[in-house]
């Protein structure tokens, strides 16, 4: 087992990574204050791992809430149904919520914890690769609005994260690959060594070799923790680099309707679009561009957005991005591989050319 | 004009109190970061004061959202309609929301600001006495759940508060009296001198004499600011004394349906119930009990709950109170006039006797 600590001003917390950690009551108990625990999960994950978690928590009053599957569940109505469940008990302020699932379950459960009785504790028990390396760490919680992803939410840090690598074995190839998009992201934005390690180890990762997986997840969490520690609430802009590829990616997801493309797939295409724009700006070499495209392809990820999305679609759906300031769309771009910057300083014509190049069938 | 500062660890902010302060652009501009402002108000307040606020904010892009009136509006659907309005512009993270209205508008607008894009700034422009002395100060924001008041929310501090005493002249007598319940509360919980001042000045207050009003509001804000500074997020329990009368009062409001009794009326009856229980515990003299009842009566406030509420009703609706810990209902009681304590240490039989005495017609 590896442990990464997220060190924040007011609250630090551990991420435990390794096989079997979902069964480790000793890792959970120190963080549980009251008697009530509400495990929120979904219909896919519940038959696989809910029983294991409930038995790990023997001695507590464990309640469960099983959501339907999918990004479309991340809305205010489903959020309210979690409150219904908490109030039916009723669960008090010492209650801990536990998010057992992927990014959707983690985001909505974290937001429920942020708002219930004006804030209770929660833990992340991520069951997808994407959630283990990204969404479960850093305290961003949210639900979607029909006009865009994650527009309604809160910064609310978990009290601990348990990333059990055993559970990754039940992921489909497609979902596993989607998680690799966020893994590769850390290499691109700030860890060139890790990018090179990924070039060498991508096949072992795709075979879900356990020590390779544990190392990759640990490295991602160390990277994410360092960014979050510098800018917990995205005030200085440092944290925005974690959104590399996401502004384009969110537009793809919103335009297609949630669920057509997985989040990681949209981010993969979005990262390539950001890389292309960086290349047009002459910030990124042609060779680096090819290396990125090659690694994403080897991981089984898309490197172009769906051809039916027009330039106008992109501009419309990108206009609600949270990073917009005074009407200017800030983008995360690469000044070389391993060095992401947040900038408004690009000619709109080059953005337009990038969108146009990618939004026509080739 | 008087100014009270709320001094918190991470963010301090001023409360400006006096006649005409709604027209003072110089008090607002230093706190406004971006170009967009969304003024949220309701159908009662809008015809009276919205134009004044909009003209004070000339030079900004001012958007408005007018809600229907009433506590029933404080729900997730209306919250979402505020997000619809913000996203239609779209408003960015530098947007400031402004709550122009009473407690309902302030609570839901503050919560909208807490969640929109994971948090934007907001200002309180309270237009009721109750909001000026209590709900606009301290950063508690929320919407209601069908099972209880303010169960879904966030701690999110305003960037400034503008309490214009001119606007109190358009309040009905009933609504003004409801505000006095929270004014009297500060005397009861921690400011015996202020209670005595109120005994002498209640008639001048009821006539809405301006200097008397400004003094009373300032004193309330100083009291509230000192409590909030000690325990911003209700962690240590200190802040819970501000809920004196509210556990009983919320049960009255929830059982009757929001809007039958005003919040301040329910709190007035709830404070008397808490005072009676304190008296049964021999913590409060008979004479003090009579003085409290006398002052509330002179203010035109109810001193008993509605007779149709049974003991069972009270126990049921009090069971979802946010102050509950491990199943025990914590109450705010008086150990003498001017000295509130938060306690679970009372014989249930005395609570029962208090509820029974007050829930039968006399």
A7-47 pLDDT per residue, tens: 998 889 999 999 999 999 999 999 999 999 999 999 999 99
pLDDT tens digits along B282-306: 999 999 999 999 999 999 999 999 9
Strands A331-334 and A340-343: antiparallel
> CATH 3.40.50.1970 residue ranges in chain B?
2-170
Q: Give the ipTM of the model, two decimals please.
A: 0.91
**Rounded distance, CA A82 to CA A109, Å?**
8
Is A154–B118 a contact, with Cβ atoms under 8 angstroms apart?
Answer: yes
pLDDT at A236: 86
Categorize the per-residue pLDDT at B361 as very low, low, confident or very high, splitting at 50, 70 and 90. Answer: very low
**Rounded distance, CA B283 to CA B338, Å?**
12
**Nearest CA-CA partner of B192 in B62, B284, B79, B94:** B284
Picking from B92, B118, B233, the nearest residue to A142 by CB comes out as B118
- Token code pair at residue A169: 């074995």
Picking from A119, A140, A150, the nearest residue to B154 by CB comes out as A119
Is B87–A147 a contact, with Cβ atoms under 8 angstroms apart?
Answer: yes
pLDDT at B220: 98
> CATH 1.20.1090.10 residue ranges in chain A?
185-358
Active-site residue B322, yes or no? Answer: no
**Rounded distance, CA A359 to CA A361, Å?**
7
Is B322–A151 a contact, with Cβ atoms under 8 angstroms apart?
Answer: no
pLDDT at B281: 97
Average pLDDT over residues B226-238: 91
Mean pLDDT of chain A, nearest integer: 94
Average pLDDT over residues A118-137: 97
Percentage above 90 pLDDT, chain B: 87
Write the CB contacts of B192 (distance below 8 Å, at least 6 apart in sequence): B337, B338, B339
**Rounded distance, CA A281 to CA A259, Å?**
33
Indicate which of A36, A113, A118 best probes the interface with B, i.e. most B CBs within 10 Å of its own CB: A118
DSSP class of residue A68 equals P
A361 pLDDT above the threshold of 60: no
SS3 B149: strand
pLDDT tens digits along A167-183: 999 999 999 999 999 99
pLDDT tens digits along A307-344: 999 999 999 888 777 766 666 789 999 999 999 999 99
CB pairs below 8 Å between A and B: how many?
103
pLDDT at A358: 66
The answer to whether B224 touches B247, Cβ cutoff 8 Å, is no
Average pLDDT over residues B217-240: 94
Average pLDDT over residues A223-237: 92
B147 pLDDT above the threshold of 90: no
A359 pLDDT above the threshold of 70: no
Categorize the per-residue pLDDT at B326 as very low, low, confident or very high, splitting at 50, 70 and 90. Answer: low
Residue-wise DSSP of A208-265: T-HHHHHHHHHHHHHHHHHHHHH-TTSSSSGGGGGGTTHHHHHHHHHHH-TTSS-HHH
> Using a CB-CB distance cutoff of 8 angstroms, which residues of chain B are in contact with residue A92?
322, 324-327
The burial of B35, by beta-carbon neighbours within 10 Å (0-12 exposed, 13-18 middle, 19 or more buried), is given as: middle
Rounded to 5°, the CA angle A344-A340-A360 comes to 70
Say which CATH topology domain A185-358 has.
Dehydroquinate synthase-like, alpha domain (1.20.1090)
B324 pLDDT above the threshold of 90: no
B178: Cα separation from own chain's centroid = 10
Categorize the per-residue pLDDT at A362 as very low, low, confident or very high, splitting at 50, 70 and 90. Answer: very low
Average pLDDT over residues B327-339: 92
B359 pLDDT above the threshold of 60: no
Is A327–B92 a contact, with Cβ atoms under 8 angstroms apart?
Answer: yes
pLDDT at A326: 64
| Torsions phi, psi for A115 (to 5 deg) | -100, -25
CATH dotted code for B225-358: 1.20.1090.10
**Nearest CA-CA partner of A162 in A25, A21, A40:** A21
Q: Which of B149, B219, B224, B280 is catalytic?
A: B224
pLDDT at A9: 83
Average pLDDT over residues A221-239: 93
Average pLDDT over residues B257-274: 92
pLDDT at B257: 84
| Torsions phi, psi for B187 (to 5 deg) | -60, -45
Range list of H helices, chain B: 25-28, 51-56, 76-88, 103-115, 129-130, 173-190, 192-206, 210-230, 246-256, 263-280, 286-298, 311-318, 348-358
Categorize the per-residue pLDDT at A235 as very low, low, confident or very high, splitting at 50, 70 and 90. Answer: confident
The answer to whether B317 touches B305, Cβ cutoff 8 Å, is no
The answer to whether A144 touches A258, Cβ cutoff 8 Å, is yes
pLDDT tens digits along B74-109: 999 999 999 999 999 999 999 999 999 999 999 999
End-to-end CA distance of chain B: 46
Chain B within 8 Å of A151 (Cβ-Cβ)? yes
The answer to whether A28 touches A160, Cβ cutoff 8 Å, is yes
For helices A103-115 and A76-88, angle between their N-to-C axes, nearest 10 degrees: 60
Is B80–A233 a contact, with Cβ atoms under 8 angstroms apart?
Answer: no
Is B154–A115 a contact, with Cβ atoms under 8 angstroms apart?
Answer: yes
Chain B within 8 Å of A83 (Cβ-Cβ)? yes
Instruction: Please state the pTM of the whole predicted model.
Output: 0.92
> Using a CB-CB distance cutoff of 8 angstroms, which residues of chain B are in contact with residue A329?
none
pLDDT tens digits along A48-105: 999 999 999 999 999 999 999 988 999 999 999 999 999 999 999 999 999 999 999 9
Q: How many CB atoms lie within 10 A of CB B209?
A: 14
CATH dotted code for A2-170: 3.40.50.1970
DSSP class of residue A203 equals H
> Using a CB-CB distance cutoff of 8 angstroms, which residues of chain A are in contact with residue B150?
118
> CATH 1.20.1090.10 residue ranges in chain B?
225-358
**Rounded distance, CA B49 to CA A352, Å?**
45
SS3 A62: strand
Which position has the token pair 């090179």? A196
Picking from A34, A76, A94, the nearest residue to B76 by CB comes out as A76
Angstrom distances, CA of residue A338 to CA of A33, A244, B66: 41, 11, 48
Residue-wise DSSP of B150-199: EEEEEE---SEEEEEGGGGGGS-HHHHHHHHHHHHHHHHHH-HHHHHHHH
pLDDT at B358: 66
Strands A2-6 and A13-18: antiparallel
pLDDT at B362: 40
């Amino acid at each position: 087992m590896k442990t990464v600590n997220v060190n924040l001003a007011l609250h630090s917390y551990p991420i435990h990574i390794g096989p079997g950690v979902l069964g480790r009551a000793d890792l959970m108990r120190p963080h549980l204050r009251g008697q009530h625990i509400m495990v929120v999960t979904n219909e896919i994950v519940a038959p696989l791992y809910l029983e294991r978690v409930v038995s790990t928590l023997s001695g507590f009053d464990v309640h469960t809430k099983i959501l339907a599957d999918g990004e479309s569940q991340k809305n205010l109505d489903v959020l309210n149904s979690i409150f219904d469940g908490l109030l039916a008990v009723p669960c008090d302020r010492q209650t801990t919520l536990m998010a057992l699932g992927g990014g959707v379950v983690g985001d909505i459960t974290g937001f429920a914890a942020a708002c219930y009785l004006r804030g209770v504790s929660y833990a992340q028990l991520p069951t997808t690769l994407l959630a283990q390396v990204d969404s479960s760490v850093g305290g961003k919680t949210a639900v979607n609005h029909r006009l865009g992803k994650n527009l309604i939410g809160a910064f609310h840090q978990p009290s601990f994260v348990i990333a059990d690598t055993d559970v990754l074995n039940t992921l489909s190839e497609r979902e596993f690959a989607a998680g690799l998009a966020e893994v590769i992201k850390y290499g691109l934005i700030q860890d060139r060594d890790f990018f090179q390690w990924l070039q060498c180890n991508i096949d072992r990762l795709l075979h879900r070799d356990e020590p390779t997986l544990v190392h990759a997840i640990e490295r991602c969490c160390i990277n994410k923790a360092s960014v979050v520690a510098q800018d917990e609430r995205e005030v200085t802009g440092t944290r925005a680099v974690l959104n590399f590829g996401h502004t384009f990616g969110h537009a793809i997801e919103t335009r297609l309707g949630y669920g057509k493309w997985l989040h990681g797939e949209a981010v993969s295409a979005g990262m390539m679009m950001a890389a292309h724009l960086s290349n047009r700006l002459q910030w990124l070499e042609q060779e680096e561009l090819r290396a990125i495209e090659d690694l994403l392809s080897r991981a089984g990820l898309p490197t172009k957005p769906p051809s039916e999305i027009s330039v106008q679609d992109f501009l419309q759906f990108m206009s609600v991005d949270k990073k917009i300031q005074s009407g200017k769309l800030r983008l995360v771009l690469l000044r070389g591989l391993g060095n992401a910057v947040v900038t408004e300083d690009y000619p709109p014509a080059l953005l337009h050319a990038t969108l146009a190049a990618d939004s026509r069938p080739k």
